[in-house]
Amino acid sequence: MRLPRPPKGEPRRPARLSRLPAPRSLRARLTLGLVVLLALSCLAVGVATTTALQRFLLHRVDQQLTTVGAHFPASLDPAKKRTPYGGGPDTRGQAAGTFGACVLRGTVTNAAVVRDRSERVVPLTGADRRALTKVPADHKGRTITLSGLGEYRVMGVRGPAGDTLVTGLPLEPVEDTVRSLEMVAGIVFGAALLATGVAGAVWVRLSLRPLRRVAATASDVARLPLSDGEVAMPPHVPDTDPRTEVGRVGGAFNRMLQHVEESLTRRHTSEERLRRFAADASHELRTPVASIRGHAELAMRHTGPVPDEVRHALDRIQCESVRMGELVDDLLLLARLDAGRTLASTPVDLTRLVLDAVSDARAAGAGHRWVMDLPEEPVVVRGDERGLQQVLTNLLSNARTHTPSGTRVTVALAERAGGVEVVVEDDGPGIPREMQSGIFDRFVRSDNGRARSEGGTGLGLAITHAVTTAHRGAVDLTSRPGRTVFRVRLPREAEET
Mean pLDDT of all residues belonging to the chain: 80
The third-level CATH classification (topology) of the domain covering 346-491 is: Heat Shock Protein 90 (3.30.565)
Residue 452 has pLDDT above 70, yes or no: no
Q: Which has more pLDDT, 222 or 169? A: 169
* Residue 475 binned pLDDT confidence (cut-offs 50, 70, 90): very high
Q: What are phi and psi of 122, to 5 degrees?
A: -105, 125
In order of 3, 76, 338, 497, the CA distances from 472 in angstroms are 59, 109, 14, 9
- Most confidently predicted of 202-206, 325-329, 367-371: 367-371
Supply the pLDDT for residue 426. Answer: 93
What pLDDT, in 10s, does the model give residues 104-160? Answer: 888 888 888 888 766 677 888 889 899 999 999 888 999 999 988 889 999 999 888
Q: Mean pLDDT, to the nearest integer, of 472-486?
A: 92
Q: Would you tell me how many other CB atoms lie within 10 Å of the CB of residue 353?
A: 20
Decide: pTM greater than 0.85. Answer: no
Lowest mean pLDDT among 86-90, 412-416, 424-428: 86-90
Q: What gap in Å lies between CA 154 and CA 63, rounded to an integer?
A: 11
Proportion of the chain above pLDDT 90, given as a percent:
23
**pLDDT per residue as tens digits for the range 341-370:** 677 788 999 999 999 999 999 998 889 999
Predicted confidence (pLDDT) at residue 94 exceeds the cutoff of 90? no
Residue 92, CB half-sphere, CA atoms under 13 Å: how many?
Answer: 6
pLDDT the model gives residue 82 = 44
The full set of domain ranges for the chain reads 69-170, 225-341, 346-491
- CATH number for the region 225-341 comes to 1.10.287.130
